Amino acid sequence: MSQEIVTRRVTAPEIRIRKGGEPIVALTSYHANTARIVDQHADILLVGDSLAMVLYAMDSTLGVSLDLMIAHGRAVVRGSKRAMVVVDMPFGSYEENPEIAFRNAARVMQETGCGAVKLEGGVRMADTIRFLIERGIPVMAHIGLTPQSVNTLGGFKTQGRDTALWPLIKADAKAVSDAGAFSVVLEGIVEPLAAEISREIAIPTIGIGGSVECDGQILVLEDMLGYNPKPPKFVKVYGAVGTAIEEAVKAYADDVRSRKFPGDEHIYLLK
């Protein structure tokens, strides 16, 4: 009797021990169809609160609710089999105190089946990160350009251009590492600083606008596929999916208007 092969997901401890080893491949995913495709090649699928801007045309990530993140997280878990799924904790769901953060993170884990949560902040969030991990919730940290702090940062600005601020950013990285995060996203940090942090801390760094010396890289899937006509500087566009979709839609519209579609092969004839 044949046995079905069970695919086992990548886990937080497996990502943690990749420090200094094979680079970690991470991409965002917001729904089951992309999750199914990306799952074959990525180690981590991040259900990012960036979906606010990518899918819902919001100006920032601040308008995303916990329910929305859970709905998209559930879809990505259903659409994937191998990659670790990490779900962003949305703005307002974890900052108040560790107890509230745990309650909301536990709900995310229970209702989506994901493998970890991600939250933004360094030194100020270290106690919360430690609190969650001690209670069984793996945490991916996120420092540097933290989009949920866009209003206090004064916009989406590169971090570390002023070398006088490097000790503060390094302190954030060390704090989340010491608190037990299994990895940390370094976003929008000047290359020399991102490289130094990657060499100095004990956990894997995952760069987005960081350094090739990071232990892994992440991009927003829609950016690298060419959906975004003005992607950020740190994005390498690997496809022209946006153009391909427009061409396909135009061909369909032309066929409908000229009555070329549907053809005989697309309709049901009376037998």
Catalytic residues: 187
Buried b (16+ CB within 10 A) or exposed e, 165-200: ebeebbebbbbbbebbbbbbbbbbbbeebbbbbbee
The sign of the torsion formed by the CA atoms of 77, 106, 176, 172 equals: positive
**Which DSSP category does 187 fall into?**
E
**Angle (deg, nearest 10), helices 126-134 and 98-112:** 50
What's the rounded Cα separation, in Å, for the pair 238 and 183? 25
The strand ranges marked E within 2-73 are 24-28, 44-47
